[in-house]
């Protein structure tokens, strides 16, 4: 192991607070939300049920779920001022920048005036993020001002409908549903920790979420699904993928979509999204991307004992659904806003400002010399 890994750099292995929201790398298949295993949730739940679980602490009854979905549906519309801002963001902007600005602008228009509004504001963001990204995307790419107040039953369906201008089929809606469940919550990852640090200053929810979006944007975090897609689409077949990957490893390049800061042997989300990627690849008659992805997985394990994280097979799964690569990470936001907001609530409920210390490694104390004597 490298010196860096041994030194505990990146706060690795340090307990930085308490949470009742999820466990990562501990029990069950390795990921639980409020005690439920991720496999169980992905198999039996709708994303809105999981969002409810994360926000309110328990799974909803069918009446509560219907009521919750109706509440979210009623919050999909965007204020005119926000639409105008979105229209002014260039088509070649990064969609994560659009999410960050959209969130921040909504905070200007509908800010959190007191913490008593935190759940209402979190639900508003959950309902509005798909509208924000699709409104901008369709305006700047298709010259269309779309209606974001759709009657789609699910958040995933709402997103695909706005993106394509027609309702998705059941297979795609289900795949989106599972994807959103897998990305919803993940303990003290970098973006969630950002949200908690911001919350610990008693800042507002929109600031916490805006900061978290900026953190998720990086390729070592949520941006890995886009980076993985850019890599796999360069390979014409599995043999070429193997040859190129070996070269990348030789050059000590990072392979996006592999490895994890906490999991050591596998990421429990991978098995689930991989099965969906396979299903979607059969649906579109793909003969390249899925076999290429499988070969990458084999080579990385054989050569480096590195496994696919949640992002790797998400890349091909989204691609098979016709989702443009640059929208991959915004989908992560549409889901993870649940985890981020719930962590903000937790931080607020038992708060102390987060302020660690640094080990000083600079020069010894010294006097300021007169300016004429410097240089």
Query: Which residues of this chain interact with ligand COA, rule CB under 6 A?
Result: 1-2, 4-5, 220-221, 224, 254-261, 306, 309-311
Token readout for 102 is 């959209």
Nearer to ligand COA, 72 or 178 (CB): 178
> CA-CA distance, 24 to 193, in Å (whole number)?
14
Sheet with 22-24: list strands edge to edge.
22-24, 31-33, 36-37
Specify the residue, 137 or 328, whose C-beta has the smaller distance to ligand COA.
328
CA-closest candidate to residue 87, choices 132, 126, 128: 132
Q: Which of 254, 235, 219 is nearest to 326 (CA)?
A: 219
Torsion of CA 45, 49, 55, 61, to 10 degrees: -120
Q: List CB contacts of 251: < 8 A, sequence separation 6 or more.
A: none
CB 194 within 8 A of CB 211: yes
CB pairs under 8 A, 24+ apart, for 276-283? Answer: 276/175, 276/178, 276/179, 276/313, 276/317, 277/313, 277/314, 277/316, 277/317, 277/320, 279/171, 279/175, 280/171, 280/175, 280/316, 280/317, 280/320, 280/321, 281/316, 281/320, 283/171, 283/320
Which one is catalytic: 158, 172, 186, 260? 260
CA gap 128, 150 in Å, rounded: 12
Nearest one of 268, 252, 262 to 308, comparing CA atoms: 268
Least distance to ligand COA, CB of residue 232, Å: 13
260 included as an active-site residue: yes
The span from the CA of 340 to the CA of 191, in Å, is: 8
Cβ atoms of 338 and 51 closer than 8 Å: yes
Q: From the CB of 250, what's the least distance to ligand COA, in Å? A: 11
Q: Which is nearer to ligand COA, 145 or 243 (CB)?
A: 243
CB of 315 to ligand COA, least distance (A): 10
Which residue(s) pair with 33 in the sheet?
22, 36
Name which of 153, 137, 170, 185 is nearest 31 in CA terms.
Answer: 185
85-90-95 Cα angle (round to 5): 85
Whether residue 251 contacts residue 150, with contact meaning beta carbons closer than 8 Å, is answered with: no
Single out the catalytic residue among 267, 311, 314, 343.
311
Task: For residue 44, indicate whether it is catalytic.
Answer: no
Q: Which residue is nearest to ligand COA (CB)?
A: 259
Active site residues: 221, 260, 311
């Amino acid at each position: 192991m490298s010196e860096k890994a041994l030194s505990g750099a990146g706060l690795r292995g340090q307990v930085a607070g308490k949470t009742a929201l999820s466990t990562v790398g501990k029990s069950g298949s390795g990921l639980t939300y409020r005690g439920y295993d991720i496999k169980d949730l992905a198999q039996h739940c709708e994303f809105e049920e999981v969002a409810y679980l994360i926000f309110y602490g328990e799974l909803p009854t069918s009446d509560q779920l219907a009521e919750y979905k109706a509440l979210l549906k009623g919050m999909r519309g965007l204020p005119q001022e926000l639409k105008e801002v979105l229209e002014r963001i260039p088509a070649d902007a990064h969609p994560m920048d659009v999410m960050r600005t959209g969130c921040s602008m909504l905070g200007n228009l509908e800010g959190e005036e007191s913490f008593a509004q935190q759940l209402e504001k979190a639900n508003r963001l959950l309902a509005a993020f798909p509208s924000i990204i699709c409104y901008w995307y369709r305006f700047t790419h298709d010259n269309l001002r779309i209606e974001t107040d759709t009657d789609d039953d699910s958040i995933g369906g709402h997103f695909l409908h706005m993106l394509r201008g027609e309702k998705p089929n059941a297979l795609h809606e289900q795949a989106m549903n599972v994807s959103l469940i897998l990305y919803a919550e993940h303990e003290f990852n970098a973006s969630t920790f950002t949200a908690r640090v911001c919350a610990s200053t008693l800042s507002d929810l929109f600031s916490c979420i805006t900061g978290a979006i900026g953190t998720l944007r990086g390729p070592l975090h949520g941006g890995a699904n886009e980076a993985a897609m850019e890599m796999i689409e360069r390979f014409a077949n599995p043999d070429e993928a193997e040859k190129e990957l070996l070269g990348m490893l030789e050059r000590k390049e990072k392979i996006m979509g592999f490895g994890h800061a906490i999991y050591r042997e596998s990421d429990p989300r991978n098995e689930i999204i991989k099965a969906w990627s396979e299903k979607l690849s059969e649906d579109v008659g793909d003969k390249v991307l899925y076999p290429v992805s499988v070969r990458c997985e084999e080579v990385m394990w054989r050569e480096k004992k590195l496994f696919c994280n949640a992002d790797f097979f998400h890349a091909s799964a989204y691609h098979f659904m016709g989702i443009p690569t640059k929208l991959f990470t915004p989908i992560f936001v549409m889901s993870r806003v649940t985890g981020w907001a719930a962590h903000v609530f937790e931080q607020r409920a038992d708060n102390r400002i987060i302020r660690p210390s640094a080990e000083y490694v600079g020069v010894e104390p010294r006097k300021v010399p007169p300016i004429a004597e410097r240089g």
